[in-house]
């Protein structure tokens, strides 16, 4: 499932590709008949909150974004959804965002005699739930969990049931405080809390596993047993990790000095990709994570075999030795200096510009 950084990249791609322009909205698959309600409107903007994307549409470009005539196309990709973009040179630089998948046949139909892609002639596949087409390009949505037209109140309802998103600006620290308070109220394990979108929005399975490793924290510790400082550290670390993901399209959580250690991956995860753009300069997958999909391999730091187990409906991965911090007392004891090391701000952001 795409994690929050991917949805923020999508919002940015929509703003770059369509903002201020009149767009055609259609449902080649026919399952999103509400597309007609927002067809030929102007796309005012796009916003991401956690894993939810909202496209703002209005009858004209000068409409106030808070006006009651504004409509929001709300999209949640779920496990299988994805967006594919095509357009003029320099159009949204994101080609395909969402669940990794094969794209078959669509490009050939848009080729002209020279073998160049003409996006205007791209015939949508019959599975396209929504096509957004502007003067300079198009975006096709397939396989989403949610795709609906909402008014302002409908959008607000969704926002109210979401926890704070580490990628939203938080100058007053309100989001961080909400996360800490919600986690400390709960007997649920921190591993489950990080996946609960009402506690913190946008975190998926990769960020959960990796943030817990970086904090040296046992995934099965109840939220109420963690100190505010420990939870603040997790929040700040996620801000850095997600920010790197949003800038590059890739999830990389390893510190540079650890990447060459045990740089291998399991044969069965060889074919899977992270979300993001094709980028030959990216940190290779076998160097990107500490624990995610590394069950049965040795820990990069201590050599202990990485374990995996079901937690909150998804598999959690952890190192039983490094992640032995179990309570607020243990978190800051002298036996665990690594906990402080792991939460150094910007720990992963020196990777590349
Ligand atoms: Zn370890």
Average pLDDT for the chain: 84
Q: Which residue among 3, 47, 210, 262 is the active-site one?
A: 3
Confidence of residue 265 (pLDDT cuts 50, 70, 90): confident
* DSSP code of residue 119: G
* pLDDT of res. 313: 83
| Residue whose entry in the numeric block shows the structure tokens 């322009």 | 21
Query: How far, in Å, is the centroid of ligand 1 from the Cα of 183?
Result: 25
The predicted-structure confidence for 70-104, as pLDDT tens digits, reads as follows 999 999 999 889 998 888 887 865 555 654 433 43
* pLDDT of res. 113: 52
What is the three-class DSSP state of 97?
Answer: strand
DSSP string across 202-261:
S--HHHHHHHHHHTTB-TTSBGGGS-HHHHHHHHHHHHHHHHHHHHHS----S-GGGTTT
Is 62 in contact with 177 (CB distance < 8 Å)?
no
* Separation CA 80–CA 131 (nearest Å): 17
| Angle between helical axes of 228-248 and 4-18 (0-180°, round to 10) | 40
Q: Which residue among 9, 47, 51, 129 is the active-site one?
A: 51
Confidence of residue 312 (pLDDT cuts 50, 70, 90): confident
Q: What value does the CA radius of gyration of the chain take, rounded to a whole number of Å?
A: 21
Percentage of the chain exceeding pLDDT 90: 66
Query: How far, in Å, is the centroid of ligand 1 from the Cα of 353?
Result: 29
Q: Which residue in 344, 283, 346, 292 sits closest to 319, CA to CA?
A: 292
* Structural domains of the chain, with CATH: 4-160 (3.20.190.10), 174-277+287-342 (1.10.8.50)
What is the three-class DSSP state of 132?
Answer: strand
Is 239's pLDDT higher than 90?
Answer: yes
Query: How far, in Å, is the centroid of ligand 1 from the Cα of 262?
Result: 12
- Whether 314 is catalytic is yes
* Residues within 5 A (CB) of ion ligand 1: 299, 301-302, 304, 319, 321-322
Q: Which residue among 24, 178, 314, 326 is the active-site one?
A: 314
- Whether 157 is catalytic is no
- Whether 224 is catalytic is no
Q: Which residue has the higher pLDDT, 60 or 249?
A: 60
Listed range (106-115, 131-140, 311-320, 337-346) with the worst mean pLDDT: 337-346
- Whether 326 is catalytic is no
The predicted-structure confidence for 212-228, as pLDDT tens digits, reads as follows 999 999 999 999 999 99
């Amino acid at each position: 499932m795409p994690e929050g950084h991917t949805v923020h990249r999508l919002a940015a791609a929509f703003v770059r590709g369509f903002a201020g322009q009149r767009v055609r909205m259609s449902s080649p698959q026919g399952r999103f008949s509400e597309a007609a309600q927002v067809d030929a409107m102007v796309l005012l903007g796009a916003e991401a909150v956690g894993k939810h994307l909202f496209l703002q549409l209005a009858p004209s470009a000068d409409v106030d974004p808070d006006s009651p005539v504004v409509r929001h196309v709300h999209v949640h990709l779920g496990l299988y959804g994805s967006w594919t973009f095509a357009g003029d040179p320099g159009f949204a630089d994101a080609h395909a965002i969402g669940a990794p998948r094969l794209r078959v046949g669509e490009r050939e139909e848009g080729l002209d005699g020279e073998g160049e892609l003409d996006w205007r002639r791209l015939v949508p596949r019959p599975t396209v739930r929504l096509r957004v087409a502007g003067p300079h390009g198009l975006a096709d949505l397939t396989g989403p969990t949610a795709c609906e037209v909402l008014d302002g109140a409908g959008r607000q309802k969704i926002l109210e049931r979401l926890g704070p998103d580490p990628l939203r600006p938080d100058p007053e620290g309100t989001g961080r405080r909400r996360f800490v308070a919600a986690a400390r109220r709960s007997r649920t394990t921190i591993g489950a809390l990080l996946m609960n979108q009402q506690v913190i929005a946008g975190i998926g399975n990769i960020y959960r596993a990796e943030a817990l490793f970086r904090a040296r924290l046992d995934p099965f510790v109840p939220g109420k047993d963690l100190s505010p400082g420990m939870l603040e550290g997790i929040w700040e670390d996620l801000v850095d990790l997600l920010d790197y993901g949003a800038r590059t399209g890739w999830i990389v959580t390893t510190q540079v000095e650890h990447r060459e250690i045990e740089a291998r991956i399991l044969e069965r995860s060889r074919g899977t990709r992270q979300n993001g753009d094709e980028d030959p300069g990216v940190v290779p997958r076998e160097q990107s994570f500490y624990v995610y999909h590394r069950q049965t391999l040795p820990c990069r730091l201590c050599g202990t075999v990485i374990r995996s187990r079901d937690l909150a409906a998804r598999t959690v991965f952890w190192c039983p030795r490094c992640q032995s911090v179990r309570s607020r007392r243990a978190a800051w004891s002298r036996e665990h200096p690594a906990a402080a090391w792991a939460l150094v701000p910007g720990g992963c952001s020196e990777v590349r510009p």
